[in-house]
Amino acid sequence: MKLLITGLSHKTAPVHLREKLAVAESALPDALHQLQNLGASEAVILSTCNRVEIALTAPDHMTPGLIMDRFLADWQGSATAFEGHIYRLESREAIQHLFRVASSLDSMVVGEPQILGQLKGAYAIAKTEGAVGGLLETVMTRAFSVAKRVRTETGIGQMAVSVSYAAVELARKIFGSLQGHSVMIIGSGKMGELAAKHLHRSGARKIFVTNRTAERAEQMAALFNGQAVDYTRFLAMLPEIDIVIASSGAPHYILHREDMQRVIAARKNKPMFLIDIAVPRNIDPAVNDVEGVFLYDVDDLEGVVNANIKERSKQAEQAEAIVTEEVERVLSRLKIEAVTPTIISLQEQLEQIRSAEVTRALRRMPNLTLDQQQQIEALTKSIVNKIAHGPISELRRNAGQPEGEHVIEAIRKVFHL
Amino acid sequence: MGESSLLWLRVAAGLYSLGLLDAIITVLRRRESLFRPALTAFGLGALFHLVSIVEQGLTQHHFPANDIFETLSLCAFAVTLTFLGIYWRYKAESLSVFVFPLVFVMTLVAALRNPVSHWQSESVRNTWLIIHIVLAVAAYAALFFTAVAAVVYLLQERQLKRKQSLAIYRIFPPLGTLDELISRTLGAGFAFITISIIIGVVWAHIEYGTSWIDNGVISTAFATWGIYLALIFFRVSAGWRGRKAAILAIVALCCSAATWIAHAQLEKRLQ
């Protein structure tokens, strides 16, 4: 059985080419059936905004590349449109690529978790359509395990790589769970809204919004089932607030060190997280010196993101090593699987000869006791096992080797398998 | 000390114990559930305390500050009056976490002036001592975790302040979790050590008569308890976290170690 993966990704093709090859989810069953009609034994199609991957297996006597060409020609009009951008990977490279994609090592943002879900979705559709059930299924399910191992053994997916998500990560580092914590949004900047959205999604339920324009505050509060607060009152409310997101257009500082000293004293030193994503900044940087107050501006958050990206790259190296190890493991398993039918038929053949000969011999010696009969059984089994040991070891050793085919063929001929 | 004067002092200590209970509940649950009844009992206890002091003075025909027991009783009464005055003026409830246990322990010690003849049985004596030791060990363990969590809190806080993103800090729990851990271990440790101290004092009173009050080991134990009390007070009333809390927790841990060593020496001497 041969395995081929063909595809385009954000690394090899611009979006106008990727969208040409993209297959809508509703069209996936038809595309899978078409691949099978063209001769593919199995097929899976992954189509996302960043990549299109078509994986198929074909019997040994067929050429999977030809099946793919005919599919691309039928499905997209021409295979040549993608020349220079499309990649074709077979056997080991195909498995390695699949493992890397599943583990998010080939993603635009390395370590992002969505790709694994998308791959599982593509596999589920193929399974429903009866398009998997052999080599490709083995490799796909292994890819999911590899991705899980990569996430467990490395910290690749643990660090935020966007400014707004970095704010959530920091809030979690300060408060632990965000459940029940309160957030005050000052101003109506887009970044502030995005950070508040992430915080809301992470469990922060009490959201207050203040703005010089009361109407705008009410509009934004409605987005989070929050409460609009009069701009003149927000400072008085701060002791009840855990997280402040400042993104107003004020040209000067609206929160000073003295304000925060009073607020933190009223909070009995309970920590407070201030996110200043306004430019010009809304919060005096000296506020960070107040004990229990953690102030991060845009540059600080970007610093966190950059450090996380670097850390992810380090983790990616470790993840690549895991992928390589897993590829070797799956290949050796597949090689053994390839010679397994030969081994089984050899064992059956020898057992058939042994049992026939033993039956004949016992018929000629009717006076043997049960114990003697059992001894003969054990003796013959031992002889047969010793005879089979050599060829079986050779079969396993030569599985998947370039010249192994001849050895396997020779053994099959010798034993009439 | 006159018999009836001692009786009134013991009644006062009994009433003050409700204050101690309130303080322990406040520390463990972090809400004042028993404060009102405890305050009433505290006021009533102060009245009995006053009666005890006056009667002692009248019986002995001099100001009742002759020895450490009488002085402790007077000090406890002075603290009680001051607290009631402050509460009446400023409604400063949070002070009670510090004052209630302090007044109770001082009054208890003052009420243990007259020696009890001896233990009724050896097994009661040993059980009493075992409970004291087990509770003390549990309190030290809780304090150890408080100190460790406080130090980790300090490191984590510093890292967040400096805006560093070092991988090592990722393994530390969030500040909120550490704070919760500190509150719980501190509260449990305080309850253990307070009960342990009370049991220890009563044991020493029966074992050594009145001579135990000068014992260095017991003084060290009281010092540790005092630091624990201060730690609780600053945390509950002023919300001490970070550097101050970490330093105080480490000091308390060192005092506990000193008490432990002192006790080990005492064991040797007893053997």
The model's pLDDT over B223-256, given as tens digits with 9 standing for 90+, comes to 888 888 888 888 877 777 777 777 778 888 887 7
**Is pLDDT larger for residue B104 or for residue A109?**
B104
Q: Nearest Cα to A183, choosing from A216, A211, A221?
A: A221
**Other CB atoms within 10 A of residue A222 CB:** 12
Q: What is the pLDDT of residue B271?
A: 54
Q: What is the pLDDT of residue A93?
A: 94
Which residues, at least 6 apart from A173, have a Cβ–Cβ distance to it below 8 Å?
B156, B160, B174, B175
Alpha carbon of A37 to those of A55, A162, B96: distances in Å?
A: 15, 44, 83
Residue B267, pLDDT above cutoff 80: no
Buried/exposed B183-202: b ≥16 CB within 10 Å, e otherwise = bbbbbbbbbbbbbbbbbbbe
Q: Residue A297: enclosing H or E segment and its boundaries?
A: strand A293-297
Buried/exposed A17-45: b ≥16 CB within 10 Å, e otherwise = bbeebbbeeeebbebbebbbebbbbbbbb
Q: What is the pLDDT of residue A288?
A: 94
Q: Would you mind telling me the total number of residues written for chain A in this entry? A: 417
Locate A244 and state its tokens. Answer: 């402040």
Q: What is the pLDDT of residue A235?
A: 92
Whether A176 and B238 lie within 8 Å, measured CB to CB = no
Same CATH fold, A163-306 and A2-158? no
Q: Which residues of A touch B162 (CB under 8 A)?
A: none
Give the sheet arrangement for strand A243-246, strand by strand.
Answer: A227-229, A206-210, A182-186, A243-246, A272-276, A293-297
Strands A42-47 and A227-229: unpaired
Whether B175 and A307 lie within 8 Å, measured CB to CB = no
**What are the start-end ranges of the E strands in A239-287?**
243-246, 272-276
Residue B270, pLDDT above cutoff 60: no
Top-level class of domain A163-306 = alpha beta
Domains of chain B: 1-114 (1.20.120), 120-271 (no CATH)
Is residue B85 less than 8 Å (CB to CB) from chain A? no
Q: Which residues of A touch B240 (CB under 8 A)?
A: 269
Is residue B81 less than 8 Å (CB to CB) from chain A? no
Domain ranges of chain A: 2-158, 163-306, 341-414
Q: Nearest Cα to A327, choosing from A58, A139, A150?
A: A139
Tens place of pLDDT for every residue, chain A, 417 residues?
889 999 999 999 888 888 888 888 899 999 999 999 999 999 999 998 889 999 999 988 888 989 998 998 887 776 677 888 999 999 899 999 999 999 999 988 888 888 999 999 999 999 999 999 888 999 999 999 999 999 999 878 777 777 878 888 899 999 988 988 999 999 877 777 888 888 888 888 789 999 988 898 898 888 888 899 999 999 999 999 999 999 888 888 999 999 999 999 898 888 999 999 888 899 999 999 998 899 999 899 888 888 888 888 888 999 999 999 999 999 888 887 778 888 888 899 899 999 999 999 999 988 889 999 999 999 999 999 999 898 888 888 877 676 777 888 888 888 877
The superfamily CATH assigns to domain A2-158 is Glutamyl-tRNA reductase, N-terminal domain (3.30.460.30)
Mean pLDDT value across chain B: 84
Handedness of CA A310, A315, A321, A322 (dihedral sign): negative
Q: Which residues of B touch A173 (CB under 8 A)?
A: 156, 160, 174-175
Residue B170, pLDDT above cutoff 80: no
| Residue numbers of A annotated as active site | 49
Alpha carbon of A149 to those of A183, A326, B168: distances in Å?
A: 36, 10, 22
Let me know: does A187 contact A282? Beta carbons within 8 Å: yes
Residue B128 pLDDT grade (very low, low, confident, very high; cuts 50, 70, 90):
confident
